[in-house]
Amino acid sequence: MNELDFVLEYLPINIKKTISIYLDKENNNIFSKNNIDYTKYNCTEYNNLNDIFESKTESQKATNNRELVEEIRLRSNKPLILKIGQETIVIEYIITQQELLQTFDKICENSIYSYKRQICEGYITIKGGNRVGIVGSGVIENGQVINVNYISSLNFRIARQKIGCSNKLIENLIDLKKGSIYNTLIISPPRRRKNNIIKRYN
């Protein structure tokens, strides 16, 4: 079971099927361009995921579409969104509030109270080290969030291992003579595997 499969376990069957069909490219014609204004979301819609792969080098290409998925965004009464590599893809499947709450209940294992601390922090960690960001109306007390009501969006961030991402930096991070790590500050844009680098040498 890969990282994406862990996430799909939490989704209602219709959403799960929609994502699987899109990624497997079995029938791209079900995603019509006519009913959604894609420019409204500042996103790009692809009928063929090969358009994404063509911009990758051979070493960067994944062997399976599922290996490229980074985020799944569920927003109440709005289209389903997938983040695949550098592209944000809008799929013509409207997420209902019922589906959103059903997913939220499953994430919390039908015990929202027991996850209250994580909910107040804005995300919940699920199987496989994946995280689910939560959007709703925060209840503030003494400058701290004590509860989140009216959940309106869930963002599944899929954990990905990038083997070898820190190899080029090892000489700049480690003092081989002393067997210690240099004082180091790692700065980069989002999704450049900063965490993977840190974990590799932790």
Q: Say which residue, 32 or 22, is predicted with more confidence.
A: 22
One domain for residues 123 and 56: yes
Note the pLDDT of residue 105: 92
**Mean per-residue pLDDT for 141-162?**
85
Find the domain containing 5 and state its range: 1-160
Question: Are residues 25 and 122 part of one domain?
Answer: yes
Statement to judge: residues 128 and 84 lie in one domain: yes
Q: For the chain, what is the domain count? A: 2
Average per-residue pLDDT for the chain: 76
**Same domain, yes or no: 21 and 39:** yes
pLDDT band at 156 (very low <50, low <70, confident <90, very high): very high
Residues 117 and 182 in one domain: no
Statement to judge: residues 131 and 175 lie in one domain: no
| Residue-level pLDDT at 90 | 92
Structural contact between residues 147 and 115, judged by C-beta atoms closer than 8 angstroms:
no
Q: Is 155 found in the same domain as 185?
A: no
103-127 pLDDT, tens per residue? 999 999 988 888 888 888 888 898 8
- Among residues of the chain, what percentage have pLDDT more than 90? 25
Predicted TM-score of the model (pTM): 0.66
